[in-house]
Structures are given as C-alpha cells and as structure tokens.
C-alpha cells in the first residue's frame, strides 16, 4: 500500500469508494425499502431486519406496509392486529416497540438526527444510524455484522472483527465517508458483506476490492486461522428441543385462532413432550414473561391476546 500522507490516504479512500459504488450499481440488491425515502417505511424495514434475514423480511414488509401504511395507522393499531401481522417474523416485541415509536412520532414529529431516532423505543445505535443515513441521505457510521466484517478486513487487517473493534471500524467508516453523497456506499458495504465477503469464507477472487484490501492476501493464501465462534445463548428449558422463542411463537399463533386458552391446555398444544408435573413451572414463567412484554393477558387461568391498545 502506498504511504500515509493525508493526501495519499484520501486517494486510497476515494479509490475504495469509487470501486464500491461501481460494484453496487451492477450487483447491489434491489430491496423494496431501498426504493423509498419515506422515513416510516425505512424505519419499519430496519426494525424487521434486526435478527431476521433479508429474504424472510421482504414478504412481511410488503404486507405490513399495506396493512399499516403510515405512522398514524400503526399508532392506532391494537395489539392483536399487530401480533397477527408480525406473526412468523419472530421476536414479536419488536412490533409493540414499533407502535410505541409511531406514537412518539405522531406526538413529536419525525426525527431529523441520528440521536432523534435513537430516542425512539426499540431503536438502538445501529438502527438509528442506518435510518438516518437512508432517510437524510447523509452518511453515518451504522455498524452491523456485515459492515463490521467488511471494514475490519478491508482496512483494519482483522479477518474476524468483533464488537470490540467497533471504535476502529467507526473511525475507518468516517474516513471512507467524507462526502455527503457517499451515503450510498453503506448499502454497497452491506451487500458486499452479504454476497462476497461472507463470514466463513470470503470470495476474495471475485471481490471488487481485492487490490485495495489489506486482508485479501492472507485469505487467498489460506493463512487465516478462524477463531472458535462463541455460541449465542438462547433460553432453552432443560429437556426441550427448541429455544423458548419457538414456543412463545406457537402460543401467539394459537391465540390467533381462539379468543382464549386455558393455561392447563396450552402446554400440550405447543409441545408434544409436555409433562405437566415437570414442565408446568416452565410454562408459567414463559407466560409471565409474555405478559410483562405486553404480548398476552391472563384472566382466570386463561390467556388471550391483549384487548386494549
Ligand atoms: S478482498 Fe476478500 S477479505 Fe477483502 S473485502 Fe474483499 S472479500 Fe473481503
């Protein structure tokens, strides 16, 4: 790599961004939320994309936007409607947080800054930066796993960057995005991470940034040692096949088919191996958490979707 005068550095970053944007024009993903600048639509897509794959989100996003096309329609939706529309996407609390955010926007107006988005319920630092970038068309350092991985490899010589590298990733992104119109490069970096610079095995031979990437040589000569990945811990009850998340989803789906269910019956209906002596405490704790999350209500030993907003 050439050296390090500020001018040389800027030339390197300019070269990277030009290459990225050229590649994006030819290969970038055409996603429905990229065809709009509507802050509401972009916010919905970013919340749905948290913890859910793009291909899975697309049909939910499209039907959600028909059902709740605006902040106002969402702010006025009741909980059973929301849970029905979100059902199948997982992590159902996101739907309730999104409605809280919509109520705040209806009261106070659409945020104009990254901090303003960050102040809304359920919107973390990554989503706030991404929404601001795509709505205002101004670059912000939105660091998701794809962005972290691409920038870590491309600039920082970190083949498998972690969250601990985010400070350095942010600085590197800020160096890359030095003009307002560079905001599009965020889409390009996300797509490169999803399609080329993948987690397990980056396809450096096909990568447009191969010549400008400080890690390419190591991957191409197979001299990279992959660290043991930490296993993401989900709550799994002893003796159960799936995490609680799956059983919570089953409970919510059942409640869409009847007005209410007896707690005594629900265990057998969501789990073939349910044993009332062994598993009753587990079900009761799960129901208690779902009540606290606002997803269900309990009345006289029966559970139902919440009636009130
Ligand atoms: S050259 Fe390889 S490691 Fe570098 S950005 Fe491209 S795919 Fe990733």
Q: What is the largest CA-CA distance in the chain?
A: 73
- pLDDT for position 22: 94
| pLDDT values of the chain reduced to their tens digit, one per residue, 309 residues | 445 687 777 777 778 889 999 999 999 999 999 999 999 999 999 999 998 999 999 999 999 999 999 999 999 999 999 999 998 898 999 999 999 999 999 999 999 999 999 999 999 999 999 999 999 999 999 999 999 999 999 999 999 999 999 999 999 998 888 788 889 899 999 999 999 999 988 999 999 999 999 999 999 998 787 777 655 667 888 888 899 999 999 999 999 888 889 988 899 999 999 988 889 999 999 999 999 999 999 888 899 998 765
* 19 and 149 share one domain: yes
| Residue nearest (by alpha carbon) to ligand 1 atom 5 | 154
Cα 92 to Cα 85: distance, rounded to the nearest angstrom: 10
CB atoms closer than 10 angstroms to residue 228: 5
Given ligand 1 and candidates 145, 210, 212, 221, which is best to mutate, with the most ligand atoms within 8 Å of its CB?
Answer: 210
Annotated active-site residue in 13, 46, 81, 238: 46
Q: d(Cα 260, Cα 269) in Å, to the nearest integer?
A: 13
Protein residue with least CA distance to atom 8, ligand 1: 197
Same domain for 158 and 209, yes or no, is: yes
256 and 208 inside one domain: no
Tell me, yes or no, whether 234 lies in a domain.
no
Which atom of ligand 1 sits closest to the CA of residue 159? 3
CA–CA gap between residue 199 and residue 224 (Å, rounded)? 13
Evaluate: CB of 197 within 6 angstroms of ligand 1. Answer: yes
Coil, strand or helix at 284: helix
Q: Which of 202, 214, 222 has the most ligand 1 atoms within 8 A of CB, as the residue to mutate?
A: 202
User: Is 62 inside any structural domain?
Assistant: yes
Shared domain for 47 and 193, answered yes or no, is: no
In sequence order, what E strands does the chain have?
Answer: 261-262, 297-299, 302-304
128 and 43, same domain (yes or no): yes
List Cβ neighbours of 300 (8 Å cut-off, separation of 6 or more): none
What is residue 1's predicted lDDT score, i.e. its pLDDT? Answer: 46
CB 269 within 8 A of CB 309: no
* Closest protein CA for atom 2 of ligand 1: 204
CA nearest neighbour of 75 among 36, 108, 49: 108
Q: Are strands 297-299 and 302-304 parallel, antiparallel or unpaired?
A: antiparallel
Same domain (yes/no): 25, 153: yes
Is the CB of residue 65 below 6 angstroms from any atom belonging to ligand 1? no
What residues contact residue 190 under an 8 Å CB cut-off, 6+ apart?
A: 144, 146, 147
For helices 6-27 and 184-195, give the axis angle rounded to 10 degrees.
70
**Which residue's CA is minimally distant from atom 3 of ligand 1?**
216
Indicate whether 18 belongs to any domain: yes
| C-beta 209 within 6 A of ligand 1 | yes
- Residue 35 CA, ligand 1 centroid: distance in Å: 27
In a domain, 231, yes or no: no
On whether both 19 and 164 belong to a single domain, the answer is yes
**Active site (annotated) includes residue 297:** no
Give the dihedral of Cα atoms 283, 288, 294, 295; nearest 10 deg. Answer: 10
Host domain of residue 108: 38-136
Does residue 149 lie in a domain region? yes
Q: Are 159 and 153 in contact (CB under 8 A)?
A: yes
User: Structural domain tally of the chain?
Assistant: 3
Residue 194 lies in a domain: yes
SS3 at position 304: strand
Burial label for 263, CB within 10 Å (0-12, 13-18, 19+), is: middle
Specify the pLDDT at position 181: 83
pLDDT of res. 232:
62
């Amino acid at each position: 790599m050439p050296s390090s005068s500020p001018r040389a550095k800027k030339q390197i970053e300019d070269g990277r961004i030009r290459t990225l944007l050229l590649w994006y024009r030819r290969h970038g993903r055409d996603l429905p939320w990229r065809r709009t600048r509507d802050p509401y639509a972009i916010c919905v897509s970013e919340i749905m994309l948290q913890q859910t794959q793009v291909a899975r989100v697309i049909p939910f996003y499209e039907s959600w936007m028909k059902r709740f096309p605006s902040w106002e329609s969402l702010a006025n939706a009741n909980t059973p409607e929301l849970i029905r529309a979100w059902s199948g996407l997982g992590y159902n609390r996101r739907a309730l947080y999104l409605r809280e955010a919509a109520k705040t926007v209806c009261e106070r107006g659409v945020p104009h800054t990254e901090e303003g988005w960050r102040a809304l319920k359920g919107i973390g630092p990554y989503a706030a930066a991404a929404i601001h970038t795509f709505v205002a068309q101004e670059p912000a350092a939105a660091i998701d796993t794809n962005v972290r991985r691409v920038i870590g490899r491309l600039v920082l010589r970190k083949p498998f960057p972690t969250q601990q590298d985010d400070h350095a990733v942010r600085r590197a992104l800020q160096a890359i995005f030095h003009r307002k119109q560079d905001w599009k490069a965020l889409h390009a970096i996300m797509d490169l991470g999803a399609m080329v610079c993948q987690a397990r095995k980056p396809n450096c031979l096909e990568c447009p940034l191969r010549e400008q990437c400080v890690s390419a040589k190591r991957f191409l000569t197979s001299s990279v040692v992959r660290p043991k990945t930490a296993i993401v811990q989900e709550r799994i009850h002893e003796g159960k096949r799936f995490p609680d998340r799956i059983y919570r989803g089953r409970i919510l789906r059942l409640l869409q088919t009847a007005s209410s269910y007896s707690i005594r019956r629900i265990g057998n209906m969501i789990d073939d191996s349910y044993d009332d002596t062994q598993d009753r405490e587990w079900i009761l704790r799960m129901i208690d958490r779902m009540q606290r999350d606002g997803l269900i209500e309990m009345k006289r030993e029966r559970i139902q979707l919440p009636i009130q907003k």
